[in-house]
Amino acid sequence: MHAAAAPARTGNAAVAFAHAAIASMLRFGIRPTPAHFTIWYDYHSGEQPMVRRVLSTFLDSGQPVDERLMFEIHDRFYRPGREMQLFLDASQHIQSALHVAVSQVAEAGSNATRYGSTLRRFSGALGAEGPELPGLLARLQEETEALSRRCDQLGGDISSSAERIGALERELAEARREATTDVLTGLPNRRAFEDQLRRAAQEATMRGHSLCLLIADIDRFKHINDTWGHPVGDAVLRRVAQTIGACLGEGILAARMGGEEFAALLPHATLAAAQQAAERIRQAVSEKSFSVRSTGKDLGIVTISIGVAAYQRGEPLPCLVERADVALYQAKQARRNRVASLPEPV
């Protein structure tokens, strides 16, 4: 069973979490590095609900909790990934392009200032004797032609810079999309889901409307991978993701949380409505026909278990996630291919 809901982070609570983190590292013989300490601190405090859930799964099942697991957790939840580098690269390129554009505009201003100076000298000399006038007119003509050439060139350069900035903005938008999208299924990823969960909970708290969370897990997915191979397992994940999205429709966020686990947020949905949505998903998945494309062999029935929880206004989000997770566990215990719910805090 999962750790208790995290209390408010007061000074005393923070010290207690720190002591608990150190005790956990000693218990499992894990070196007290900053990275390991952060993982265990977040587990005990509930600061990272997904870290807490992963560790709780290992603890509850008796699987080894060692430094290899620490590395996997840190790599998955804490290490900046490719998307962060894409953000940084795109930002630097945009800054560089803007710097060039600003320089070009400054040069245009300098050219205009110099031309204005020439015009003022010409104006001041209009009253001069006749022999000087032809030379002044020739100089003015040269300056006018030179300014025209420079303006044409700068216009082209600035246009090119604008196009480059536009392309970089599109690259940045694509990097942002990649950062929040699961590559395999095309659904939003865990990071995007947790951000949306925070926003949805804040809105539900402020406006007083309902909010429900679904957590779904493909039953015996390890058996599918072990029997048919990971490419087939990936195809099953994509098919299940498509089915979940089709059952929920537009305006409802479904995400892949990692592995064979999915989640969905149902704003404005009552617990009864969320249970009905979960049942539609469960039934639709179980009715799908799954086969190996290369051989045509039937995989048999693929099923999914789903836990449902209703948000209690103002509660810590780890409590909501934990209730949905406990409900999922109950569905698994009830011979899988089930929907279970926990409406109230346990």
- Structure tokens, 15: 């010290």
**Alpha carbon distance 17, 55 (integer Å):** 15
- Structure tokens, 54: 């992963």
Placement of tokens 């996997």 in the chain: 72
Cα→Cα distances 148→107, 157, 158, 162, 299, Å: 13, 14, 15, 21, 73
Backbone angles phi, psi at 306, to 5 degrees: -135, 135
Q: Which residues are catalytic?
A: 260
Cα→Cα distances 78→72, 89, 187, Å: 10, 20, 21
Residues 6+ apart with CB under 8 A from 249: none
- Structure tokens, 67: 């430094």
**Alpha carbon distance 50, 76 (integer Å):** 10
CA torsion 20-21-24-28 (nearest 10°) is -170
Cα→Cα distances 277→147, 236, 271, Å: 69, 21, 10
The radius of gyration of the chain's CA atoms, rounded to the nearest angstrom, is: 31
